[in-house]
């Protein structure tokens, strides 16, 4: 989830506007194939919905997230959740697996993340992750840049969306062996219009505006994107591209 975010996350808003995130993480859980008794780190656990699934599968699971608000929500589910920046993991060879869903694109120092993942895994341990890949929310990002540029505001994209080749190279440079890596388009239905998505995830951009100007900017972006992301029935989707991978720490490493 949020790593080093400059704002407080609202778990209630997140559930309302982004409840699809844990739902779409179910295939990743199946890819992880957690076994009872395995020690699992959920990296970027958010409000703990998928972390709870790991615990219910019999795993000894620890969730970490940089958002104190999200960690509090995860703890309310009875989970061992801790406030920790995913770019500064402090674990040493204590997990059989690291799991991460829809979080790694918030961590813009990927080499530090992967170094911490390598240290956290026992030899032979695996990491299974999915996050935004190259081209993720490209139309939304372009509309955000247009709206801010019209107001004289610039700035780079605050997320890390790599290509499979770039991320494979980083995984291997960290000492991990890549079993599988792929990138795929996944247009994702939204519970409302794209405004809810922007209020939840677009704040790295919107925070550059005075608070009183943000809603009018959101309304402008909604209209800008209507023809691209809203179908004839009024259903909105986000133009997601996901990167999914499985890697492991060598048994002798």
For the chain, give the mean pLDDT. 92
Domains of the chain listed by start with CATH number: 11-136+159-189+239-248 (3.40.50.150)
Helix (H) or strand (E) holding 40: strand 39-43
Which pLDDT score, from 0 to 100, does residue 9 have? 53
Which pLDDT score, from 0 to 100, does residue 21 have? 54
Write out pLDDT tens, residues 76-130: 999 999 999 999 999 999 999 999 999 999 999 999 999 999 999 999 999 999 9
CA distance 38 to 60: 6
What string of DSSP letters covers 148-184? HHTTT------S----HHHHHHHHHHTTPEEEEEEEE
CA angle 158, 154, 134 (to 5 degrees): 35
**DSSP E strand stretches across 56-152:** 60-65, 80-83, 95-101, 121-132
CA distance 95 to 34: 12
Q: What secondary structure letter does DSSP report for 104?
A: G
Which pLDDT score, from 0 to 100, does residue 12 have? 57
Query: Crossing angle of helices 194-201/11-18, nearest 10°?
Result: 140
pLDDT-above-70 percentage for the chain:
91
Write out pLDDT tens, residues 34-74: 999 999 999 999 999 999 999 999 999 999 999 999 999 99
CA distance 144 to 149: 8
Distance of CA 2 to the CA centre of its chain: 8
Judged against a pLDDT cut of 50, whether residue 17 lies above it is answered with no
Question: What average pLDDT does the segment 151-180 reach?
Answer: 96
pLDDT-above-90 percentage for the chain:
87
């Amino acid at each position: 989830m949020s790593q080093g975010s400059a704002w407080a996350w609202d778990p209630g808003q997140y559930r309302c506007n982004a409840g699809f995130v844990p739902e779409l993480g179910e295939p990743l859980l199946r890819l992880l194939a957690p076994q009872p008794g395995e020690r699992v780190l959920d990296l970027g656990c958010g409000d703990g919905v998928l972390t709870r699934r790991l615990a219910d599968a019999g795993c000894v699971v620890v969730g970490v997230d940089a958002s104190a608000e999200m960690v509090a929500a995860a703890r309310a589910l009875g989970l061992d959740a801790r406030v920790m920046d995913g770019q500064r993991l402090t674990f040493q060879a204590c997990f059989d697996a690291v799991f991460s869903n829809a979080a790694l694109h918030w961590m813009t120092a990927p080499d530090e993340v992967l170094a911490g993942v390598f240290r956290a895994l026992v030899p032979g341990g695996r990491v299974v992750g999915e996050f935004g890949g190259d081209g993720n929310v490209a139309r939304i990002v372009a509309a955000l840049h247009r709206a801010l540029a019209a107001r004289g505001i610039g700035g780079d994209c605050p997320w890390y969306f790599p290509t499979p080749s770039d991320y494979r190279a980083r995984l291997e440079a960290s000492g991990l062996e890549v079993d599988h890596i792929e990138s795929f388009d996944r247009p994702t239905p939204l519970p409302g219009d794209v405004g809810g998505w922007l209020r939840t995830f677009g704040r790295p951009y919107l925070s550059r505006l005075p608070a009183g100007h943000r809603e009018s900017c959101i309304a402008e972006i909604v209209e800008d994107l209507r023809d691209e992301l809203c179908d004839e029935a009024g259903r909105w989707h986000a133009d997601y591209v996901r990167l999914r991978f499985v890697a492991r720490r060598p048994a002798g490493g």
